[in-house]
A and B are shown apart, each in its own frame.
Chain A
Amino acid sequence: MDLSFETVIGLEVHVQLATESKLFCSCPTAYIGTEPNTNVCPACLGLPGSLPSLNRRALELGVKAALALDCSVNAMTRFHRKNYFYPDLPKAFQVSQYDIPLAVSGSMPIFLEGRVKNINITRLHLEEDAGKLVHKTADGRLSGASFSLVDYNRGGVPLAEIVSEPELSSPEEAREYVLTIRRLVRYLEVSDGDMESGSLRVDANISQKCSDGRWGSRVEIKNVNSVRAMERALEYEIIRQREILLNGEEIVQETRHWDDGAGVTRSSRSKEEAHDYRYFPEPDLPPIKIDEELVKYIGCSLPELPWDRRERYIREWGLSQADSVSLSENQDVALYLEKTVAFGADRQLAANWVRTYILRLQNETGVAINDLAVGPEDLASLLVHVKQGSLSSTAAKDVLGIMFALGVKVGAAMEKSGISAGGVSRDALFETVARILEANPAETGVIIAGGDTAVRKRKYLMGLVMKEIRGQAAGEEVSAAFDAVLGSIRDRSL
Chain B
Amino acid sequence: MAIDEKDVLHVARLARLEIPPERVDPMVRYFQDIIEHFRTLEKCDTEGIDPFEESGSHSCPLRDDEPEIWSYVIDALEEAPLREGRFFKVPAIDGEGDPDDLS
> Smallest CB-CB separation from A57: which chain B residue?
B65
> Smallest CB-CB separation from B55: which chain A residue?
A286
- The stretch that binds A, out of B22-30, B38-46, B85-93, is B85-93
List which A296-345 residues lie within 8 A (CB) of chain B.
none
Q: Tell which of B73, B85, B101 touches A222, judged by Cβ atoms closer than 8 Å.
A: B101
Q: How many residue pairs at the A-B interface have CB separations less than 8 Å?
A: 161
Q: Tell which of B65, B67, B76, B88 touches A150, judged by Cβ atoms closer than 8 Å.
A: B88
- The stretch that binds B, out of A24-32, A360-368, A461-469, is A24-32
Q: Is B96 interfacial (CB-CB < 8 Å)?
A: yes
Asked whether, in the complex, the Cβ of B68 is within 8 Å of the Cβ of A21, the reply is yes
Asked, given contacts A54-B61, A148-B93, whether A26 binds B68 with beta carbons under 8 Å apart, the answer is yes
Q: Tell which of A41, A85, A94 touches B97, judged by Cβ atoms closer than 8 Å.
A: A85
Q: Tell which of A37, A47, A277 touches B87, judged by Cβ atoms closer than 8 Å.
A: A37
Asked whether, in the complex, the Cβ of A88 is within 8 Å of the Cβ of B98, the reply is yes
List which A86-123 residues lie within 8 A (CB) of chain B.
86-88, 94
Q: Is B18 interfacial (CB-CB < 8 Å)?
A: no
Q: In the assembled complex, how far is the CB of residue B14 from the closest CB belonging to chain A, in whole angstroms?
A: 6
List which A271-299 residues lie within 8 A (CB) of chain B.
272, 276-277, 281, 283, 285-289
Q: Is B47 interfacial (CB-CB < 8 Å)?
A: no
Q: In the assembled complex, how far is the CB of residue A7 from the closest CB belonging to chain B, in whole angstroms?
A: 23
Q: Is A492 interfacial (CB-CB < 8 Å)?
A: no
Asked whether, in the complex, the Cβ of A149 is within 8 Å of the Cβ of B76, the reply is no
Residues of chain A with a CB closer than 8 A to B65's CB: 19-21, 55-58
Report the separation of the CA atoms of residues A62 and B82 in the bound assembly, to the nearest whole angstrom. Answer: 37
Q: Is B49 interfacial (CB-CB < 8 Å)?
A: no
- The stretch that binds B, out of A131-139, A181-189, A237-245, is A131-139
Report the separation of the CA atoms of residues A463 and B22 in the bound assembly, to the nearest whole angstrom. Answer: 95
Asked whether, in the complex, the Cβ of B97 is within 8 Å of the Cβ of A20, the reply is no
Q: Is A190 interfacial (CB-CB < 8 Å)?
A: no
Residues of A that sit less than 8 Å from B by CB: 14, 19-21, 26-29, 35-42, 45, 47, 53-59, 78, 82, 84-88, 94, 129-136, 142, 145-152, 159, 201, 222-223, 255, 257, 268-270, 272, 276-277, 281, 283, 285-289
Residues of B that sit less than 8 Å from A by CB: 14-16, 52, 54-55, 58-70, 73, 76-77, 82, 84-93, 95-103
New A-B pairs, 20, CB < 8 Å, besides A58-B65, A88-B102: A20-B66, A21-B67, A21-B68, A26-B68, A40-B70, A53-B61, A55-B65, A56-B64, A130-B98, A130-B102, A142-B96, A148-B90, A148-B91, A149-B88, A150-B87, A151-B88, A270-B97, A272-B99, A283-B54, A287-B60
